[in-house]
Amino acid sequence: MSLSRLVAVPRRRLENRIRRLVGLPQRRKHAYIEFFISRGNAVNLYLSDVHQNRNEATAHMLLEAVKTTKYKLRQDKRLIICTDDRPPEDSEPMMCYAPRPDMRNRIAIPDFTFWDWPDVGIDDYPSLTAAMVEAGKAPPQDDRLFWIGNPKMHENRQRLVDIAADDPRMLATGITWVKADRPENHTAGTLMGTRDANYVSLPDHCRHKYLIDVEGYGYSARLKILLFSGRPVFIQERPWREFFHAWLEPFVHFIPVRRDLSDLSAQLEWAEGHPEECREIAGNAQAFAQRHLTREAAIAYLREVIDRELA
The string of pLDDT tens digits covering residues 51-93 is: 789 999 999 999 999 999 999 999 999 999 999 999 999 888 9
By mean pLDDT, which of 7-16, 25-34, 222-231, 261-270 is the weakest? 7-16
* Average per-residue pLDDT for the chain: 90
Q: What is the pTM of this model?
A: 0.88
3 domain residue, yes or no: no
Give Cα separations from 69 to 20, 74, 308, 310, 311 (angstroms).
25, 10, 12, 10, 11
Assess if residue 168 is contained within a domain: yes
- The reply to whether 189 falls in a domain is yes
Q: Is the pLDDT of residue 211 over 60?
A: yes
CB 68 within 8 A of CB 80: no
Q: What whole-number percentage of the chain has pLDDT above 70? A: 85
Q: What is the CATH number of the domain that holds 247?
A: 3.40.50.2000
Do 302 and 234 lie in one domain? The reply is: no
285 and 140 within one domain: yes
Residue type at position 127: S
- CB under 8 Å to 247, separation ≥6 — which residues? 288, 292
> Do 202 and 282 share a domain, yes or no?
yes
List C-alpha distances in Å: 165 to 147, 158, 159, 162, 174.
Answer: 12, 11, 10, 5, 11
Residues 139 and 265 in one domain: yes
Question: For residues 25 and 258, which has the higher predicted lDDT (pLDDT)?
Answer: 258
Residue of 171, 130, 60 whose CA lies nearest to 293:
130
Whether residue 163 is found in the same domain as residue 281? yes
pLDDT at 156: 97
Same domain, 87 and 125: no
Domain match, 91 and 171 both: no
Please check whether residue 4 lies inside any domain of the structure: no
- Residue 10 included in any domain: no
Q: What is the DSSP string of 158-197?
A: HHHHHHHHT-TTEEEEE--EE-SSS-TTS--SS--EETTS
Percent of the chain that is helix, strand, coil (3-state, to 5): 40, 20, 40
Residue 70 belongs to what domain range? 17-112+297-309
Are both 100 and 197 inside the same structural domain? no
Q: For residue 72, tell me if it sits in a domain.
A: yes
Q: Measuring CA to CA, which residue among 228, 223, 222 is closest to residue 282? A: 228
Q: Output the DSSP codes for 35-102.
A: EEEEGGGEEEEEE---STTHHHHHHHHHHHHHTTTGGGSPSS--EEEE-SSS--SS---EEES---TT
Q: Is residue 290 part of a domain?
A: yes
Residues 151 and 81 in one domain: no
What single string gives the DSSP state of each residue in 283-309? Answer: HHHHHHHHHHSSHHHHHHHHHHHHHHH
User: How many alpha carbons lie under 13 Å from residue 199 in its C-beta half-sphere?
Assistant: 13
- 105 within domain boundaries: yes
* Residue 96 · residue 106 · CB < 8 Å: yes
Residue 24 has pLDDT above 60, yes or no: no
Shared-domain flag, residues 66 and 173: no
Candidates 308, 128, 141; CA nearest to 300 is 308
pLDDT at residue 86 in the model = 92
**Number of domains into which the chain is organized:** 2
Residues 146 and 289 occupy one common structural domain: yes
Say yes or no: 196 and 218 in one domain. yes
- pLDDT attached to residue 25: 54
Q: Are 234 and 264 in contact (CB under 8 A)?
A: yes
Each residue's pLDDT tens digit, 83-142: 999 999 988 899 999 999 999 999 999 999 999 999 888 999 999 999 999 999 999 999
